[in-house]
Each structure stands twice: as C-alpha cells, then as structure tokens.
Amino acid sequence: MESKPAGLSQSETEGQVHDLLVIGGGPAGSSTAYWAAKAGLDVVFVEKKVFPRDKTCGDGLTPRAVHQLEAMGLGARLASTHRFEGLRTVAHGRTMELKWPDHPVFPSYGYVVKRSELDTFVAENAVSAGATLLAGTAATEPIMDGPLVLGTKLEDSVTAETREVRARFVVIADGANSRFGRSVGTTRNRAMPQGMAIRTYYESPRHDDPFIESALDFRDRSGNSLPGYGWIFPVGDGTINVGVGLLSTFRDWKQVNTSHLMTEFAHALPDYWEIDPENPTQAPTGGRLPMGGSVGPKSGANWLVVGDAAGSVNPFNGEGIDYAYETGRISADLIAEAIESRSRQPLERYRQILEADYGQYFKVARLFAKVIGRPALMRELTRVGMRSETLMDWVLRIMANLMDDDRTGGAEAVYRTAAALSRVIPEPSAKSDL
Ligand SMILES: Cc1cc2nc3c(=O)[nH]c(=O)nc-3n(C[C@H](O)[C@H](O)[C@H](O)COP(=O)(O)OP(=O)(O)OC[C@H]3O[C@@H](n4cnc5c(N)ncnc54)[C@H](O)[C@@H]3O)c2cc1C
C-alpha cells in the first residue's frame, strides 16, 4: 500500500468538512472507517505510519476477532493465513489441547497473522468500502471549539508538511498511549489493572502447528518460578511468535525486567519447538495493554473513543484486537445514526452500550486479574485446573469470552457465579463513570 493510496490531495481536503474523521488506522480505526463508509458516510482516517507497518503483538486472532473480520468480508483473505484449532496449555509438567468450543455465533477456529499483514489488508478493505486513508500522516493537535472536536492539525510524517482536516464527528483510535485521546481529556483509571507484554519471533519447524500454546507457569534456568505467562503462537511462515505478559496487579511489577523474562522464557520453551533461543529473527519489543474499560470518558459532544485508546483489552487473556474491531463497529453505527437523524444524541448511548456489552464481564475479569497477580495463588489454581480437561475447557470459554447466553453449561454457570460475586465485591477506588 502506498503512503496515500486513496488519499485526497491538499486542495481536495481543505475547506471540506467530512462526516467522520478517525484518528488511527489500526484494528479499531480501520473497523470504524469500514463500517462508517459502508453506511454511506464520507470518512477520512489518518494513520501516522505507512502500511505495511509493524505493531508489537502476539498476532493471535481468536474466534471473536475472526467473527468480526468475516463480517467485514475478509473471510477468504484470512483463509490464506495460518489457521489454528485451539489452545495447548502447558503447566506443572502437564499438557492439554483444548479445541475452540462450538458456538452459535463465533467460529471454532482462529488465525495467527502478523500485524504488518493484517492491519494492511483491513485498512485496504476500509478504503475499498469508500473511506479515504491518509497514511504517513500524524494527527498532531485537535482543533477544538468548546466541547466539540472540529478536526485535527496534521503533519506529514516524511516531509513534516502541516495542514488540517475537519469533520462533524471524530473517532479516536490511536492505540494504547492515546496522545490524541489525552489531549481531548481521556485518562486511564490507575485503580484498574494494566498489562505489559514483550514478544519476538523465532524460526521453528513447527511454525504451522494447529494449536497456539500458552505456558501458565515457567521457570528460569536456575529453576526459579517467574511471574506472568508465556505464549507461543505459530505464524505459519517459518516462524513462531513467542512472548511473555504480566499484569500490574502483580505486586512487584514495576521491578520486573521484561527483556530478562523474554530471554528466560525462550530458554524454557519445550524442545519440540526446536528454536535457537539466542537467535530471534528480530529484536524483542514490548508494549502496554490498557484493559478492562480503564480509559474514559468514552465519549464527548461529537467524539467517541475506541479500541486500546478506550482501554478495551480483555484482562483475562490480553486480547485487544477483537474488542478494537467491535468498539469500532459500535461507534460507526452510532455516528451513522447521528448523521441520519441530524442529532448528536445517539452518541450518548455509546457508554451504555459498552456497559451492557462488556461492563459485567470486565468487572469479573478485573477481579480475576487481582487473583492472578498473586503468583502462589495462581500456581495453585493452575495446578488444580490442569487436572481436569472439562474445567480447563470452561476456563478457555470464559477467558476468550466465548460463552453462550442461552446455555446452562459449566462455563456459563461458573461465570454467572463469578458475576454475582463481582456485584457484591466493591472496587474501592475505581471510578464508575468511565
Ligand atoms: C506484546 C503484545 C502482545 C499482544 N498480543 C495480542 C494478541 O495476540 N491478540 C490480541 O487480540 N491482542 C493482542 N495485543 C493487544 C493488541 O495489540 C491491541 O489491543 C490492538 O492493537 C488494539 O488496536 P487499536 O486499533 O486500538 O490500536 P493500535 O493497534 O495500537 O493502532 C493504533 C494506530 O493508531 C496510529 N496512531 C497513533 N497515534 C496517531 C496519531 N496521532 N495520528 C495518526 N495515527 C496515529 C498508530 O500508528 C497505530 O497504527 C497485544 C499487545 C501487546 C503489546
């Protein structure tokens, strides 16, 4: 994709007020742009990098994310990438292979796709639907009029040329650091958990393994237990994505050296992966995962916040791509309704919709994050879990948010009990109006 594939020239954008301006061309921004363009809106989305661009990630797409991609018409495109059937968990000397559950909505397969590839074809898809992508263009400063965001100042990432773009509505999808979001007033609730993760790639003959793998307890070369959990996601291109993540609920998390964790985890990988732990194909990189709906406010007079910029990552498993697609789609629908009805009122429902869709689940997940922040407790829980495949199947269904509202099965029953508990356990300093 070229730097401005379907971009407007300066003379075409100046003076024009678009229906929707989207800041960021990652999963959240591209999904917003796609669904809004599909609804007939005049959409511009700006991305400071030029596709294909790398993004630090595990590259794992679970059934929830696949469902959204298929809804955007990308099922055939995905089929050319590496498909997997489920999750292999390794802990306490035991291994279990858990297939994705049958579900009335979500497929029973996932994919691993490098973000340089995934984000490029999802952005291209939004352009094909009619959205205009300004790639290699950073949104540097919102143009405000009281509570309204009228647009943004732009800077060309190569030439440093500046200009402006204006729109009736703005969706902020600028990722975990969300500088644009902060400049219109969003903050992260520090009482809620945050994730931190690091990953790299290794060559492996098992690069096309049909299971992604997670290590729930691992040790360094001296036999000491390490915090966090590790993943091995086969990419299908000769490499595997290997990473480690941990939560801010872990007492000493600020002292944790993630590069050290990464090195030790690579050395602890089961032999069957046949990697050379000293030779990743690229230097490890890390990032933060704002989770559990921890960033707000989620909306303003004419703007909405989506994806990581809204703290949408699932605290149970660190997945954020699916929630980025989902929140993007919800925001596009509301803005299309607002344009249609010539009223900003539909935007007021955004927060309620997020609360209805994720509020309870994220609350349970935040409680869970507190529990697994205590390594000894986490070890005991995994030790018990790893003795029962049925129990681990339930855990997978809960953690990947693949429960079926109409079922009375084990996972659903366990989750309902946890949800009931979470309603009576207060979260002391958490703000409730995010
Ligand atoms: C190590 C690690 C592993 C992870 N593994 C997984 C995983 O396996 N599966 C999963 O589902 N999730 C995973 N996540 C989380 C996932 O990466 C994010 O949740 C997801 O990328 C969120 O999408 P987004 O569109 O909100 O943000 P991003 O993907 O960060 O996209 C934001 C985009 O906005 C652009 N941008 C930022 N500021 C500006 C600006 N001012 N102007 C223009 N453009 C701007 C950025 O360049 C970027 O392209 C992982 C995260 C980390 C750190």
Q: How far apart are the CA of 26 and the centre of ligand 1, in A?
A: 6
Instruction: Fill in the amino acid letter for 254.
Output: K
CA 399, 248, 180, 339 dihedral sign is: positive
Q: Is the CB of 23 under 6 A from ligand 1?
A: yes
Residue 163 has pLDDT above 60, yes or no: yes
Q: What is the pLDDT of residue 311?
A: 98
Whose CA is closest to atom 49 on ligand 1?
Answer: 26
Q: For 344-398, how does the pLDDT look when each residue is reduced to its tens digit (9 = 90+)?
A: 999 999 999 999 999 999 999 988 888 777 778 888 888 888 888 888 888 888 8
- Domain segments of the chain: what residues? 10-54+115-190+293-357, 363-424
Q: How far apart are the CA of 125 and the centre of ligand 1, in A?
A: 18
Average pLDDT over residues 306-313: 98
C-beta atoms surrounding 356 within 10 Å? 10
Q: What is the pLDDT of residue 431?
A: 52
Q: For 123-159, how does the pLDDT look when each residue is reduced to its tens digit (9 = 90+)?
A: 999 999 999 999 999 999 999 999 999 999 999 999 9
Site to substitute for ligand 1 among 45, 46, 57, most atoms within 8 A of C-beta: 57
pLDDT band of 216, cuts 50, 70, 90 = confident
Q: For 12-69, how does the pLDDT look when each residue is reduced to its tens digit (9 = 90+)?
A: 456 799 999 999 999 999 999 999 999 999 999 999 999 999 999 999 999 999 999 9
Site to substitute for ligand 1 among 289, 291, 304, 399, most atoms within 8 A of C-beta: 289
CA distances from 257 to 281, 284, 307, 369, 378 (A): 21, 13, 27, 20, 20
CA distance 323 to 428: 26
| CA of 285, closest atom in ligand 1 | 1
CA distance 291 to 194: 6
Q: What is the pLDDT of residue 8?
A: 35
User: What is the 3-state secondary structure of 138-157?
Assistant: EEEEEEEECCEEEEEEEEEC
CB-CB contact of 246 with 253 (8 Å): yes
What's the predicted TM-score (pTM) here?
0.94
Site to substitute for ligand 1 among 35, 53, 55, 156, most atoms within 8 A of C-beta: 55
pLDDT band of 197, cuts 50, 70, 90 = very high
Q: How far apart are the CA of 424 and the centre of ligand 1, in A?
A: 33
Residue 343 has pLDDT above 80, yes or no: yes
CB-CB contact of 308 with 78 (8 Å): no
Q: Which fold has domain 10-54+115-190+293-357?
A: FAD/NAD(P)-binding domain (3.50.50)
Whose CA is closest to atom 50 on ligand 1?
Answer: 57
